[in-house]
Structure 1
Amino acid sequence: MTSSPEKPAEKSADPVDSLVLHATDNHVSWITLNRPEALNAITPDQRERLIQHLSHASSDPDVRAVVITATGRGFCAGADLRGGPSTGGPPAGEPPAGERVAGERVAGERVAGERVAGERVAGERVAGDVARMIRLGAQRLIGAVLDCEKPVIAAVNGTAAGLGAHLALACDLVLAADSAKFIEVFVRRGLVPDGGGIYLLPRLIGPQRAKELMFFGDALTAADAARLGLVNRVVPPDDLEKTARDWAERLATGPTRALALTKQLVNASLDTDRTTAFAAEAAAQEINMTTTDANEGVAAFTERRTPHYRGR
């Protein structure tokens, strides 16, 4: 994969850059998880880098589509619960070492043997910690995919489990190698599905199918995922990158703002009543008709020629 001449890849000394590869090619932002030895389980640092790349794709007019994929035999094994390489920053929602938080006492301030109500001791987890970690961590990542203003394609090369499955399913289009698997692994760990799964799966396949996957935690083959409607297309592993590139470059030549508004409307449609949905649709078309691409599309239709969209 090569970077486009107008936006060459920049070298960085940040070690996370080797764990989340990035390049822009033909107006497509390619984001690649690169911890194959850990089946691309996501560390907090990688999660933040993914969010940064998706945010940049939204704001950069030269990026008109995004592909998320991975190296090795796994797409993403979920959040890294064992602890992977880190740049040393604290986990989301936790204070840096040595920094005092509200209500905390330091050495010299405590009466011997006293524990003040509400004070946290080393290693202690208090109510709200887990919810905060999920809200500021996995849910932010899934939200970044759903809210990205450019079409996002998942090219699932292998097993997508837990948060990794939700990362793929949050994308606008899902391509999968025929060797890929999707696993709602949470029940195997005695956990409630998080990272947006409770929101995504019922909307994609209905509540009863979603509960079947979440209650049993069985591996779903790529073919079965396609049959359920979770995957758009299953291809041989050797064809996955080519198919993703073909789809992404086709999207990158389309009316980018119209696609962004369409994505926004579809994602919101299941949460709104008909009156609200109709009003949002009409307002979106009003906004879209001010774009250069909409004018080009209408002109090309009347002039009986192929439109040339610029993403503006």
Structure 2
Amino acid sequence: MTVLLSSDADGVRTLTLNRPYRRNAADPELWQALREALAAVTRDRSVRALVLTGAGGAFCSGADLKSGDSRHPLDKVRDLNDVAVLLHELPFPTVAKVTGVAVGAGWNLALGCDLVVATPESRFSQIFTRRGLSPDCGGTWLLPRLVGLQQAKRLTLLAETIDAEEARALGLVTWVVPPEEIDEFVADLGRRLAAGPPVALAQTKALLNEATSSTLYEALASEARAQAANFATTDAQEAYAAFAEKREPHFTGRWYRSPTSEDPHA
């Protein structure tokens, strides 16, 4: 069985964790497949958004502790770290589509996405301390930034299981939608994100990620550099033209160049 499924539609790549018999618990094969898929999608210019989900009614029940992996624990964690960094650095929007459980490293995979869509039946847990472990896959970095230090400590120290509505109230889930509607909801969300200006979206995502550890002055300087890059694309001109013509814009992310007689490529 292929442990990671990949499909493309409307500029959106969907990666599906495919070990439903283990509630998509991630073994070494799945971590490697996910790492390779995220590295590959970074270089694919046809992809404008990513959806990460799980097969069989679960998102991911964490790392598979029964996988028989005999490597040193540091080697195992490096796989998780690679995936967390690649997911964080993707230059386009990412969406976690969560049905069923998202536990441990599986929940942190979801939190590593820019947006999270869940169903009322979804359940979440930073289960690590119940297994005699501490959080990994970026959880200690993500949680305090999303919910504050005190709530992050509550979620990790007690390892409680919370439902989708509580997760949404804490800011850990963006939308909760009925299970019969989540497929179309996420498909529409992916299309909307993929239709956006790719350079501006990449700049916005990077600016927000960097702002968690920057000063106001550093953020302003980064915004200025990003805005210059945005104006260097055709998308800024296209946005103004579409507004004037009362139509939807068509964004490409192409570099804007004003041809001159001295330009051999004009």
Q: Which runs of 4+ in 1 moved over 4 A?
A: none
Which residue, out of 58, 75, 81, partners 2:65? 81
Matched residue, 2:3: 19
Quote the Cα distance in structure 2 between the aligned partners of 1:191 and 1:228.
24
Unaligned runs of 5+ residues in structure 1 are 1-14, 85-89, 95-128
Which residue, out of 22, 30, 40, partners 1:56? 40
1:154 paired with 2:96, answer yes
Alignment deviations for residues 148-186 of structure 1 (CA, whole Å, 9 cap, x no partner): 111110000110000000000110010001100110000
Quote the Cα distance in structure 1 between the aligned partners of 2:40 and 2:238.
26
CA RMSD in angstroms comes to 1.6
Matched residue, 2:263: none
Unaligned runs of 5+ residues in structure 2 are 255-266
1:172 paired with 2:114, answer yes
SS in 2 for 1:56: helix
Quote the Cα distance in structure 1 between the aligned partners of 2:25 and 2:90.
22
Matched residue, 2:262: none
Q: Is the 8 Å Cα contact of residues 3 and 29 (structure 2) preserved in structure 1?
A: no
Deviates further, 157-166 or 73-82: 73-82
Quote the Cα distance in structure 2 between the aligned partners of 1:64 and 1:299.
22
Which residue, out of 118, 135, 154, partners 1:193? 135
Quote the Cα distance in structure 1 between the aligned partners of 2:145 and 2:228.
28
1:245 paired with 2:245, answer no
Alignment deviations for residues 220-267 of structure 1 (CA, whole Å, 9 cap, x no partner): 100100011100100111111111101001111110111111111111
Alignment deviations for residues 41-69 of structure 1 (CA, whole Å, 9 cap, x no partner): 11122112212222222221211111111
Shift of 1:294: 2.2
Matched residue, 1:28: 12
Shift of 1:302: 4.2
* Residues matched between the structures, number: 254
Q: Is the 8 Å Cα contact of residues 94 and 114 (structure 2) preserved in structure 1?
A: yes
* Structure 2 counterpart of 1:263, one-letter code: K
Quote the Cα distance in structure 1 between the aligned partners of 2:241 and 2:32.
42
Judging by fraction of residues, say which structure has more helix: 2
TM-score normalised to the size of structure 2?
Answer: 0.91
Matched residue, 1:87: none
Matched residue, 2:167: 225
Shift of 1:275: 1.1
Alignment deviations for residues 121-174 of structure 1 (CA, whole Å, 9 cap, x no partner): xxxxxxxx534432x211111111110111110000110000000000110010
TM-score normalised to the size of structure 1?
Answer: 0.78
Quote the Cα distance in structure 2 between the aligned partners of 1:250 and 1:53.
23
Matched residue, 2:56: 72
Percent sequence identity is 41
Q: Is the 8 Å Cα contact of residues 64 and 311 (structure 1) preserved in structure 2?
A: no
SS in 1 for 2:85: helix
* Structure 2 counterpart of 1:47, one-letter code: W
1:40 paired with 2:24, answer yes
